[in-house]
Chain A
Amino acid sequence: MTEIIRVENLSKKFINKKDKTEVLAVDSINFSVNSGEIFGFLGPNGAGKTTTIRMLACLLKPTLGNAIINGMSILEDQEDIRSIIGFLTENHGNYENLTVKQNLEFFGQFYNIQNINERIENILEQFEMLDRIDMYAGELSKGLKQRLALARTLIHEPKILFFDEPTAGLDPIAAVKVRELIIKLKSRNRTIFINSHNLDEVQKVCDRVGIIDEGRIKRIGTSDEISKNLWEFRILEIKLKKLSEEIISQLSKFDFIKEVFPINGSIRIHLKDLEEFTPIIIEKIVKLGGKIISVEPIEHSLEDIYIKLMEDTKINQQSGEK
């Protein structure tokens, strides 16, 4: 896979005008995004997500560092970068006093699109909005406003898309539609960078995630990779036809197993390495006469990962204060 976004020691400092104090919103972050990937950028409010996305979209100049977008520097090639990216802002950003067509015409004309009217009709058809072409944007429902914003973002067929909280404030059905569109875009080989604090959404659509807090990257990778990195023990759930105390006590004797306990007719085992030790456990259960119905590794959800990371940060801060 080729790298399409490379972030190098990117930092942004703001100066609080009231008391002249400096606020380091983004602190020397490094990461990369591959072409055709959906990358989720997670973090609590004020973590530095929006500042990062604004720097990558050439809206804000970094205080230090650089980012290379499709081979171009955000310090030198701002106009060229802006012409190959699409940016869906947290607020839909449509002009409510303009019609759907006027909105798309306005944004489209800056990209030298051949036959813009045809392009507008095509994109509205894709977004099932062609019948609303002459409606004022202000008259659309929230979900349709977001679809118009997406259509606007895609009018020039950008290579890279930046989405800042794309489903914020949408009802569940509209949010599902937006997620489906994001997945569709991936199939068309678009690279998508999503800022979100909706963990479920990120888990559903993103290939990899970066977790940021207080301006620093805490972890980067697939949720599986981050999970392995965060927790020493993995969880295996084995459903048996009949649960016996003998099996639990025998399994507890293995030194690679940290803990075994029954749960809803199954047993949950905390162990160091799933791949290496699962066959040994199965063999032992079978030897002890246990009848296995299913064996399933329990993955940590992104929510578990996120909460653990944020808790770790708090603990580190508290110990630092002491």
Chain B
Amino acid sequence: MIIDVHAHIGCDHRFGFRLSAKDLVAAMDKYGITYSFISSMKSLIYDYREGNDDVEEACTKYPKRLLGLAAIHPLYGEEALKELRKRLSRKEFIGIKIHPFYFNTPANSPLMYPIVEEAIRMKAPLFIHSYDGGIEVSDLADRYPDAIIVMYHMGGGDWEEGVLRVKKYENVYVEMSSSFVDIGMVETAVEMLGEHRVLYGSDIPFQTPAISIAKVLEANIPEYVKELIFYKNALNLFNLRGEYDRCF
């Protein structure tokens, strides 16, 4: 049983990626992934609202497999806030996707503040791409201790720094995907943050789900902690227990 808190649909022509919702569900079946949290690559590299339309359509089509993350672009100001409210009021969406690199706005920029404040008000978690060793995310978490933040990629290549930087912020959880399959990644995260703050994510199609699965399976941690990482932490953190009780 696995919950993947980091997946994509859509196309990224730079790398020849094309992944429809149907293809994604087929991949999930292959790797034993029950639920995936998805955003659209279209939101990241073309138009964030059109990408959200695609996510909504996919989650409507596969309501028991896909949960939507609404991509919210900080440079669009009030329009972005309206988009946030609109999407998060719908059952297809579970959180907010922020990509500082593609949105050309640091995660700790003042332009992000209204989005984070609205997320706190709506009790919506923020899923933030982080490849800077956790610098921006830790700064944001310091300012907003009530925000629930999932730091994607554990901070990237400098994942040890990333984990260390967010250690003291109990409202920050880390997701492990990236091309790095370094020995000891997951052990370090569990040791520094505790077993409840580490989540499985694949970043499909940039990574095959096998990469993060291998990181967890090879980690020198107890089996029950692997279960926490693979799905139980996500179930608890995102209040999925009632509606998604097929996990039990």
Is B truly associated with A?
A: no
Q: Which residues of A contact B (CB under 8 A)?
A: none
